[in-house]
Structure 1
Amino acid sequence: MHGTLALLTAWLARQRWFAGTAACPRLRVLADRELATDDPAVRVRLLVLVDEAPEPRVVYQVPLVERATAGDAAAGEGFIGLREDGVALIDGPHDPAFTAALLSLVAPAAPPSTAEVLRGEQSNTSIIFRAVDPAAAPDRTPVICKVFRVLHPGLNPDIELQSALSAAGSPHVPRVVGRLDGSWRDPDFAAEQADAPNTLDAPDAALHGSLAFAQEFYPGVEDAWRVALRAARGGVDFADAADALGRATADVHLDLARLFPHPEATPDQRATLVAAWHRRLRIALAEVPQLAPWADDIRHRYTAAEAAPWPRLQRVHGDYHLGQVLQVPGRGWVLLDFEGEPMRPMGERSAPDLALRDVAGMLRSFDYVEGSLTLARSQTTGLDADARGLDAQEDADDDRARAWAVSARTAFLAGYRAGSGASPEGALLDALELDKAVYEAIYEARHRPAWLPIPLAAVARLATR
């Protein structure tokens, strides 16, 4: 096993979904389950690993395919490395042996299918399955299966919320196909139980959680970010689409309030949520010093929101933006990815929250459309030696982008108000939008410094208006 762990250690730190901060993870096996395969020269395993380098520790799922010879796999995207015994290790989603085994577990009745890894994901790995012979299964839509990379105990909120909404007949989520759960030893005790069974099926395993989630896939459909960005770039009004998106959002919130607990916010719950805003602000001020001029104004906004009237709490999407919504012909807006913000602890993501958090997230997303256009223009003119005389044109373009975003925001809020019967505006929404902008400032400072002006401009506007 030493050879396998050594290769995984070097490979893991290079993955987009790697959540640690150390360049060299310290891995330990918490579970190891072998999956059935028809090829005697191939071994398919589901590994659950803990990285003990960061604090808190991070638990990962790594589906692993072992092939006796590397062959073409050595040039493939999922190639991990060649073990000392000559066995090639391949990341499961990129190998047909694992994808076939996975499909048989999450969708046993699915016809023979091709498998394609969806590119560009940050925190998970999704595989699109399409029937090899669509004519033989005309009623079978393609399936997308999300393999969770960072694991947490309990039912993943993405599965929990989408399954409940789908079962209730909501037109605003994809149809659920199936899921895969598993068990692993508690990392706090696994080191003391090195000789204990570590299979994902062990009945005495201490922790249980979600490994994968499959749902229907809409081929050729664009997410709302691309639709909105194209509209803004072409100067096309987005008000009607934003109004419909506000109504769809309200429909989903009403269903979630009906399907899950919908409690009044107690003083302790208010204090907990407000404390999370302040905790995030402290992190942001330490990492993004440009926020310092508005720190007192932000705290004042948080205090005003804590004293304002609060609606009942409920389950929410938690990481709502234009990239989480699809425009599906005949269905309208369809919401995806109910996992919540990756930076928030799983307990916070699954707890009843303010539905206005989702509203604030979508408002920030409209601002990002504006900001991305402005940023693209500034980068282009910054490289153009003859652009010095274009200041007036740039100002006009920026004004049009701002007007587009204001129109979209206004229409979205109007649609949400019409769909929910509640007015979303006020001190509470302002605070939640500020909290989201503070979160964005942390993210951009860490990962995309060139984009940092977008959340900074929002903080300046929201904190002082």
Structure 2
Amino acid sequence: AEMHAALLRNPEDAAFAPEPFNDFYRQSLFHGYIALTARRLEFIRQRYADMSAEVRLLAAKVLEQESAINEKFRTVFDQRIPSQRTRFHGRLHLGHLLVTADGGRAGDLASSDVVLFDFEGDPTQHISERRIKRCPLRDVASMLVSFGYAAQSAVRVIMADEVSNALPRQALRVWGRFWYSHISAAYIRGYWSVANNASYMPPSRPQQEILLQSYLLERALLDVREDIEDKPEFSGMPFRLILHLLDAEAERRLGE
């Protein structure tokens, strides 16, 4: 939230001046989402045979949900949301954060600060697309997804430990979800406490939720290709997030 505020401090500079989140932009955003959905579902069909049995189960469920995905995105188009588009990080995740300690004392987290780096945006997108200003809640969604990957990484490490082999996989998954829920709630509370009155923040919680949910769904669709091609061990993650955003209870029952 402090980073987003800093990026708004020089509105006289056209490169940093806020732009309206108007009807024209919402229409463009919605059609972009529809095109992204079509591309990713086609990619899933092309790579379906290469997936593990567990991931294929999730992928098949996602392929059945094209209409539901598009309807979820339509909420951004159907409702006028007071907001602004500004500069933002563009690919915010835990790998782009450094925790620094005051006075050079390593591990002194009580007096530490956080440094964000790598503002090039999403390297899978063309530079012209990365330069488009967007609502900073897109960064919030990206960080929330990163917490999910951190939880999944921890579960995988524990499962690989011979001492932990006796632990039921479902129990580990529940613990991972608990940690994710706790850290995500703390993150959102902290962000909202700083940014609640920011010019880009929609005035009502339902409007904030609509934007955040759409950015989470967009991030999951973008991650489908990246994970299958570069991080196959995490390829089930974006599918689960998509299904969770559409029907959280149904997603939780999968694999039980």
Query: TM-score category by the smaller chain?
Result: 0.7 to 0.9
250, 256, 260: which is aligned to 2:7? 256
Whole-angstrom CA distance in 2 between matches of 1:398 and 1:284: 26
For normalisation by structure 2, the TM-score amounts to 0.75
450, 460, 465: which is aligned to 2:233? 450
List alignment gaps of at least 5 residues for structure 1: 1-249
Q: Which residue of 2 aligns with 1:432?
A: 215
Whole-angstrom CA distance in 1 between matches of 2:36 and 2:82: 21
Whole-angstrom CA distance in 2 between matches of 1:264 and 1:296: 29
Q: Which residue of 2 aligns with 1:301?
A: 72
Q: Which has the higher helix share?
A: 2
Query: How high is the sequence identity, in percent, across the aligned residues?
Result: 23
Residues 352-367 of structure 1 aligned to structure 2 (within 5 Å): 352-367=133-148
Q: Which residue of 2 aligns with 1:405?
A: 180
The 3-state SS of whatever aligns with 1:280 is helix
The 3-state SS of whatever aligns with 1:334 is strand
List alignment gaps of at least 5 residues for structure 2: 11-15, 46-58, 103-111, 198-204, 249-256
One-letter amino acid of the counterpart of residue 251, structure 1: E
Whole-angstrom CA distance in 2 between matches of 1:446 and 1:325: 24
One-letter amino acid of the counterpart of residue 303, structure 1: R
Work out which structure has the larger RCO, using CA pairs closer than 8 Å and 6 or more positions apart in sequence: 2
Shift of 1:310: 4.0
Q: CA-to-partner distance for each residue in 1:416-441, whole Å, 9 max, x for gaps?
A: 10111255841111010011011111
Q: Which has the higher strand share?
A: 1
Residues 22-421 of structure 1 aligned to structure 2 (within 5 Å): 250-259=1-10, 260-289=16-45, 290=59, 291-308=62-79, 309-330=81-102, 332-377=113-158, 380=160, 387=165, 390=166, 392=168, 394-421=169-196
Q: CA-to-partner distance for each residue in 1:302-359, whole Å, 9 max, x for gaps?
A: 0012233141111111101111111111351111011111122211211211111100
One-letter amino acid of the counterpart of residue 224, structure 2: A
Whole-angstrom CA distance in 1 between matches of 2:144 and 2:238: 12
The 3-state SS of whatever aligns with 1:326 is strand
Q: Does the 8 Å contact 1:297/1:464 carry over to 2?
A: no
For normalisation by structure 1, the TM-score amounts to 0.42
Larger Rg: 1
Whole-angstrom CA distance in 2 between matches of 1:376 and 1:276: 37
Q: Which residue of 2 aligns with 1:60?
A: none
Shift of 1:252: 1.1
One-letter amino acid of the counterpart of residue 3, structure 2: V
Q: Does the 8 Å contact 2:26/2:76 carry over to 1?
A: no
Residues 303 and 415 (structure 1), Cα distance of their counterparts in 2 relative to 1, 3 Å cut: same
Q: CA-to-partner distance for each residue in 1:132-177, whole Å, 9 max, x for gaps?
A: xxxxxxxxxxxxxxxxxxxxxxxxxxxxxxxxxxxxxxxxxxxxxx
Q: CA-to-partner distance for each residue in 1:73-101, whole Å, 9 max, x for gaps?
A: xxxxxxxxxxxxxxxxxxxxxxxxxxxxx
